[in-house]
Structure 1
C-alpha cells in the first residue's frame, strides 16, 4: 500500500501476519505498484504499532497493565481499509484485536495533499477486568542516513531555542509534565542528514498535537531501525479502561522534506491553512500600555491614538473584572467590576467601535485566585487533592474543568460576556504550569485538557464569528491541538525585537505568520530592558500577525506617524505575508538573518543585521524560493534604516527597479547594504 503526495511517499506492507509494517516514509517513489517494491524492501521495518511480538525490542507503542493476568499483545488484523489517490495522499484504517489480551486497536493514518502524515491510535478494553494504559504513542521510521537531531527548548520570554546533537543509538526523549505544552516544549523533533539547514538536506519531523503532558522521542536500535515518535504522556493511573471503554491518542503529525526545514515547515503550514481565516486585523493590546490602570478616559485616549495609527482591533487585557486591581485576586470572578466600570464596558466598547475598530477581551478561564469569590464559594472546584492545595504559582490555582459544575459556570460566564458585548476576539490565557493535578483521586491533566478543548469548541459553536488567541504566559501553549480551536498564538511575552527575531524564526517552522502574534512594543522592552529603534521593532512585527503593545498616549506625533507608516506597509503587504511560502536563507554571516515570504507573483524579504558584522563587506543577499525562470522587479519596501549604506540598486540614485531572474537572485543574489546592529531592510519583488 503506497500513499503519495507532493513528492513524499509512505509504504505500508500488509503481506505478513500482524499489523502492517511501515517500509518507507520519505521521498516519493514514482509510479510503481506496491508489489513491485517487495524485492527492495529487505531491511527491518517496525509495525504500525511496534511491539515485542513483532520483533521490536525498543520503546513499545502500547504499554499498560491489566488488573489480573498479564498477556503481551499480539494483534490479529480484522480489517484493513485503504483509500489511496496517487499524488494526492489517502487514508488507511486498521482494526485489530488480541482476544487473549482483551484489547482491540483502531489505527488511523492520513496523508494530505501536501504530503503531511497524521496518525492516531485508539485502544479499547474488551475484557471484564480494568486495563491501565501507561502509554500509547505513534511512530514512523527514518533511515540510517538521518544522523542528526534538532529539537527546541526555552523558558518564559525566550521560547524555541534550537539545540542539535548526533542521532546515535538509544533513545532521545523529550518529556513534558507541566500540564500545558510548556515554554521548553520542543514543538518539533527533527531528524536529518548531516548538516541539514533551512534550504538543504533531507529531514523528517514529528509533532504531537496535544496541549497536556506529552512526549517526543527518537530511537535508534542496534538492529539498524530508527524511529521518530510522539504522543500523550500519561501518569500512572490516569487512564484506566473499564470493559468497553476506549482511549484515543491525539493526532501526531509527521513531515518529510528533501529540501530542508523550509519545505518541511511548508507542509505543516498547509495543514493549518486548510482552515481559512479572515483578514488578520492589526491589533492593539493595552497590557504594556496601562497594566491594571483601567480608567475609562485613559483607555479611550489610547483607543483614539490607536485608530489614528491605523490599528484595526482593540483588546482590553487583564484587570476589567471584579477585585482585579493586581494579580493576587479576582481570577474566576468573571463579572465586569462595577466599581471600575459603573456602566459596564459599554462606554469603551462603543467608542472603540465608533473609531472603526473591533473589540476583544482577555480571559484566563482555567485559573482561579484563592482570593476570589469563586474560590471562597467553591474551594472543591480547585484541581488538586481535597486535603491539600497544590503549590501556588503566580498567586493562582487551577480550576478543575472536568468537574461539571465548574465547566458549566465558565461556559455560562464566557457565553454571557461574549454575547453582551458582541466580542470579536478573546485572548485566552493560561499563566501557570499545572502542579499536583488530582481529579476524583486520579491524575487529572488528561481530563483537564479534554475539558478545555470542549469549552473552546462549545464557545465557538455558540459564537461562530468569534476569534480566539491562545496565550500561555507567552508561548507555553503552542501545538496543533490548541490551534485546531484557536486562530492565533501569542508567540512570547517578550516584545524585544532582537529576541523575537529568533523566537519567531523557530516558532515559524510549526506556525505560519498569520497565526503568530507579533507586536511592536515600547522603545525600552519591559522584559529585557533593552532599547531598540521603532523601525527595527516594526520590521520584526511585520512578519507575523502584527500588533502593538505600547502606550501610544506617551509617544510624540512623529513616532505615531512613523508607526502609522509601518502599519500601512503591513496592510499593503499582508496578502503576501499571510498567504505565501515562508523561506529562510542559510545565510553565511552569523550576525545577520535573511528571510522572506514568497508567492508566485510577489515576495517580501527582510535582511536583518542582529549584531556588529566581523567582515568588512556584507555577504550577497541570495534570495531563496523564487521561480528561477521568472523576471522580478526588485525595490526597497518601507523606510530605510538609519545609518544604512545602500548599494546602487537600493539607493536614491537608482534609475528604477532592478530587473533580474529568480535564478540570478537565488544564485548570485543582490549586493547587500551595510546596516547598523538591530536594523532591517525590507525588499519587495514583483514578477514582471
Structure 2
C-alpha cells in the first residue's frame, strides 16, 4: 500500500493517515537474522531462504533466493564489486537489491531522481538497519545529498512469500522529482535456460498464458491505463525450460500489489545474470517531493516453489487466503448469487426484480444482486453515472420493498455501482465538470459514454464516500459489485501546480484504497466485488479490499476453462466469480447443456446470470440439484489446494482440475471434453494431493465413472491407478467427489 507523508488535504486524505500500517500488510513471522561478522541478512520460511549482504563499498547485494538452507550453513559475504569493462561499470553487472540511476548505471534502475539544478546522479550506500516485527528494514543514503531510501523486507513463515517495498525521503532543502521508482529488484540464481510465464488479454479474452525465454536484453510487462489492465497482469513466474513443469522443478514467481499503472522489467545482462524490477510505471510519471516529504512504493510479493507451476500457484493461493483477503486467515465462503443483468439490463423495476428473486430463491441462491439501471436517469449507458440516488420512477418507494422481499426469501441483497465514473449527462457532471481527469482546454475523451472522476481530489473522495455511506446506511445492502468500465485518457489534474500534476498516478489509486477501506470500516458487513469491464483490475492491491473479483465479461463456459486455467496461475479460485448464463452464449453463439455450464462455473465462486423467466421446470430441477451439490463441496473448491491435472491450453481436447481440502478428507474432480472423434478411448485421470493410506469413496455428481471403478479405494489407488470418466461427444463434462471414509 503506497502511503506518502504529504500535506494531507482534510477528509479523504485524512483517512490515509490511519493506513500507514498497510504499507507491509502482514506481520512477518519468518525467521530473520543478521550475521554481523560477514554483514549478511537472511529470511527463512516454509522451505525458502532469502539472503542478501552488504559489500565492501556499502551496496546491498543478493546472495540467495531459493530452497531453504540449514541454519548453520555458511553463506558467503557479498563479494567486492568490480567493473567488467570501461563500458560496463560495477553497479551494472553486480546483482544489487536496489540501485539508483547514477555512477554510470546502464541497466534498469530501481530509483531515478532529478534535482532542481538538473543533476540526476544518485549513488546509494548502506546507512544502517533495524530488525523489526515486520522483518528487516535497511537504510540507504546518497553519497552526498540528503536523499534517503528505506528498504523493507518481510516473509510469511507459512508460505515463504517474501514482501519487499521501498520508501524515498527528501531531506534536502529543495524539491526533488522522482522520475522512476520500483518496489524492489529481485535477482535470480544464475541459469541460462530461464522461461518467463505471464498473463495477457483483452476485454472478453483475459487470462491468456504466455511463455517466452529470458534472453539477453529486456522484456517489459506494463500497464499505462491508470489501472491494472487486462493486456498484462502484474504477475510473473520464471521456471527452467524442460525442467520446471506443472508439478516438478524450480519456479520463482511474484506479483505487484498495485491497481494503477505499473511496470515489470525482466533483464538478462551482458554476463547472463537475470533480474526483475517492478514498481510504478515511469511512463508519464513524475512525483515531486518537497523537503521533508516521502514516497513509498506498492509491495512486491515474491515466492519460490520446488514443485513446479502447480506448487507455485498453491503457495500463492494459500498466501492470498491467509494474508491478503478481507477476513484472512479465514475469509468467508462465497455465497451462491444471482445477478439480474442479463435478464433485465437497464430495464429494472421493483416488480421485475421481485419476480426474479422469487425464482432464484427456489434454486437455493443465497444472494440476489440487482445490476445497473436502478439509479439517477439510468435507462441506458449514456446517462446517470455519478447520481447515486434511487430512480423513483422505477422504485417509487425506494429500494426498501424489494430488499424486504429478498430478505423474506432468505437471501442477502446486493447492488451494482460504478463510483469512479460519471456520465456527461448527469447532475453530478453538470454541477462539477472540473471533477473529471482532464487536460485544461483539451478534448475530454469518453469511453462507454463516460469519463473518469479524479479520485486524487479531496472533494471527489468526500462525495463518493458520502454517497455510498448514505446508500448503505438507508438500505440493508450486503454486497456491492464495484465496477470500472474504462481506462484513463487525458491524465491531467489542472487544479494542482504544474510540477505536481503527475502525482495523479499515485494519489488516485492510493485514494481508491482509502475509500474502500473507509466504506468497509463504516459498514463492516458489506462485501465487495472488484470488476473492471471484466478482469481489468485484479491484483493483490485491490484484493485487500475485495472479497471476490469478476475475471471476465465472457461467460462462455468453454472459453472460461482456458481463462480459469490462466487466472489460477496467479489467483485463487475462491475469489473468482463465475456465472451460469444463457445458451447459446452471447459471445460465441455456442450451445452447451445447463449441466456443462454449471460444472464450468462451479470451479470458482458460483453465480447465475441467466434470465430465469425463460427456464423450464427441468432446468430449475437441474440447477437446484447442482447448487445443493456445490454448497456441500464449496469449501474444498474455494479454499482447497488446486491441481491442474490436464491443461486446456494448446487446443487440448480435454481438461481436468482437482481441488483437495486442507484436511485431505475431500477432493472434487471436474473433467471436460471439447469433442471426441474416431471412437477414442477416454484416458484415466490420476489424482494428486490425497493421503495415500486414507480410503476414499467416489461419487459422481454429474456424468458417470467407468463401470469397473471401485466405490471405495485408497488415495494411492486414485493417484496411481486413477479414475476413468467415459465422456463422448461435444462439450461434455463430468464431476466426482471423493470423500474419506
TM-score bracket for the superposition, by shorter chain length: over 0.9
Change (3 A) 1:434 1:613: farther
2: CA distance, partners of 1:596 / 1:55: 52
1: CA distance, partners of 2:118 / 2:505: 28
Query: How far off its partner does 1:161 sit?
Result: 0.5
1:320-345 deviation digits (Å, cap 9, x = unpaired) = 00100000000001100111111001
- Higher mean alpha-carbon deviation, 384-393 vs 169-178, is at 384-393
Q: 427, 434, 452: which one pairs with 2:512?
A: 452
Does residue 165 (structure 1) correspond to residue 224 (structure 2)? The answer is no
SS at match of 1:608: strand
Query: How far off its partner does 1:173 sit?
Result: 0.4
Does residue 279 (structure 1) correspond to residue 333 (structure 2)? The answer is yes
1:4-60 deviation digits (Å, cap 9, x = unpaired) = 111111011235332421111111123334xx2218989975222034668964201
Alignment of 1:640-655 (within 5 A): 640=703, 646-650=705-709
1:47-84 deviation digits (Å, cap 9, x = unpaired) = 22034668964201111211215252222323222369
Alignment of 1:625-636 (within 5 A): 625-627=689-691, 629-636=692-699
Query: How far off its partner does 1:633 sit?
Result: 1.9
Change (3 A) 1:543 1:41: farther
Change (3 A) 1:40 1:649: farther
Query: How far off its partner does 1:313 sit?
Result: 0.2
Does residue 209 (structure 1) correspond to residue 257 (structure 2)? The answer is yes
Partner of residue 467, structure 1: 527
SS at match of 1:300: helix
SS at match of 1:37: coil
2: CA distance, partners of 1:615 / 1:133: 64
Change (3 A) 1:228 1:666: farther
Partner of residue 143, structure 1: 189
Change (3 A) 1:614 1:390: farther
1:488-508 deviation digits (Å, cap 9, x = unpaired) = 100111111011111112112
Alignment of 1:72-221 (within 5 A): 72-82=121-131, 91-98=135-142, 100-113=144-157, 114-137=159-182, 138-145=184-191, 146-195=193-242, 196-221=244-269
Query: How far off its partner does 1:647 sit?
Result: 1.6
1:329-385 deviation digits (Å, cap 9, x = unpaired) = 000011001111110011111100000000011110000000111111111111112
SS at match of 2:44: strand
SS at match of 2:428: helix
Change (3 A) 1:129 1:288: same
Partner of residue 363, structure 1: 417
CA contact (8 A) 1:402 1:451 kept: yes
Change (3 A) 1:436 1:398: same
SS at match of 1:666: helix
2: CA distance, partners of 1:546 / 1:516: 9
CA contact (8 A) 1:208 1:479 kept: yes
SS at match of 1:281: coil
Partner of residue 395, structure 1: 449
Change (3 A) 1:96 1:41: closer
Partner of residue 6, structure 2: none
2: CA distance, partners of 1:615 / 1:66: 73
CA contact (8 A) 1:255 1:264 kept: yes
Does residue 580 (structure 1) correspond to residue 643 (structure 2)? The answer is no
Alignment of 1:472-491 (within 5 A): 472-491=532-551
Change (3 A) 1:152 1:237: closer
1:514-554 deviation digits (Å, cap 9, x = unpaired) = 21111111122223322211111100111111111011111
Query: How far off its partner does 1:679 sit?
Result: 2.0
1: CA distance, partners of 2:350 / 2:653: 45
CA contact (8 A) 1:635 1:658 kept: yes
1: CA distance, partners of 2:677 / 2:195: 29
Partner of residue 87, structure 1: none
SS at match of 2:255: strand
CA contact (8 A) 2:304 2:312 kept: yes
Q: 416, 428, 435: which one pairs with 2:489?
A: 435
Does residue 594 (structure 1) correspond to residue 656 (structure 2)? The answer is yes
Q: Mark the runs of 5 or more structure 1 residues left unpaired by the alignment.
A: 85-89, 651-655
Partner of residue 653, structure 1: none
Does residue 222 (structure 1) correspond to residue 270 (structure 2)? The answer is yes
Q: 614, 621, 624: which one pairs with 1:554?
A: 614
Query: How far off its partner does 1:307 sit?
Result: 0.2
Alignment of 1:329-348 (within 5 A): 329-348=383-402
1:230-254 deviation digits (Å, cap 9, x = unpaired) = 1111444531111111111101111
Change (3 A) 1:398 1:587: closer
- Higher mean alpha-carbon deviation, 329-338 vs 264-273, is at 264-273
Partner of residue 69, structure 2: 29
1: CA distance, partners of 2:478 / 2:77: 59
2: CA distance, partners of 1:151 / 1:104: 33
Does residue 242 (structure 1) correspond to residue 301 (structure 2)? The answer is no
SS at match of 1:38: coil
Change (3 A) 1:69 1:40: closer
Change (3 A) 1:378 1:191: same
1:592-645 deviation digits (Å, cap 9, x = unpaired) = 112111121111111111333678222220112223x323324233122xxx7x
Does residue 322 (structure 1) correspond to residue 376 (structure 2)? The answer is yes
Query: How far off its partner does 1:559 sit?
Result: 0.3
Does residue 259 (structure 1) correspond to residue 307 (structure 2)? The answer is yes
CA contact (8 A) 1:289 1:552 kept: yes
SS at match of 1:144: coil
Partner of residue 58, structure 2: 18
- Higher mean alpha-carbon deviation, 361-370 vs 74-83, is at 74-83
Query: How far off its partner does 1:398 sit?
Result: 0.6
- Higher mean alpha-carbon deviation, 53-62 vs 513-522, is at 53-62
Change (3 A) 1:56 1:584: farther
Partner of residue 26, structure 2: none
State the aligned residue count. 670
Does residue 518 (structure 1) correspond to residue 578 (structure 2)? The answer is yes
TM-score (norm 1): 0.93
CA contact (8 A) 1:3 1:11 kept: yes
SS at match of 1:480: coil
Change (3 A) 1:632 1:613: farther
Change (3 A) 1:49 1:159: same
TM-score (norm 2): 0.87
SS at match of 1:211: coil
Query: How far off its partner does 1:682 sit?
Result: 1.1
- Higher mean alpha-carbon deviation, 112-121 vs 6-15, is at 6-15
2: CA distance, partners of 1:362 / 1:526: 21
- Higher mean alpha-carbon deviation, 676-685 vs 53-62, is at 53-62
- Higher mean alpha-carbon deviation, 104-113 vs 66-75, is at 66-75
Does residue 671 (structure 1) correspond to residue 715 (structure 2)? The answer is no
CA contact (8 A) 1:206 1:216 kept: no
Alignment of 1:596-615 (within 5 A): 596-599=658-661, 600-612=664-676
